[in-house]
Amino acid sequence: MLLAHAVTLAEARSYLAALADQAATFDASVEYERVLLQLDYLHGDLIPGITPAPAYTRDVLFDVAYAAIEELDEHGVDLLSVELLLDMLETAWSKDLP
């Protein structure tokens, strides 16, 4: 894994974790965790740590996580897996809306 891929993956993981922590409902938090688990599964043992995400609103956290996941296809993650992750993220987001 190259440095750019590791940075993108770490960003996606960090913002997904922040979304799970700030979720309005338990169900939404569980869905964000499922996205995080799927992301980790796709990368096997090559998983960077989660760093604290800045204290942004949930809208900003979602946008950054979405963009980071989209960028993964540029680092060798197959497009179908990226689309699956994005769909899972959108499902979690729909459960997180008031």
Structure confidence by residue, pLDDT tens digits, 40-95: 888 887 677 777 777 778 889 999 999 999 999 998 889 999 999 999 999 999 99
> What pLDDT is recorded for position 28?
93
- When computed from its CA atoms, the radius of gyration of the chain, rounded to whole angstroms, is 12
Q: What is the pLDDT confidence band of residue 8, given thresholds at 50, 70 and 90?
A: confident
- Supply the DSSP string of 31-58, one letter for each residue: HHHHHHHHHHHHHTT--PPP-PPP---H
Ranges 13-17, 31-35, 55-59, 61-65: which has the least confidence: 55-59
Calpha distance 21→1 (Å, rounded): 28
The pTM assigned to this predicted structure is 0.86
The pLDDT value given to residue 44: 82
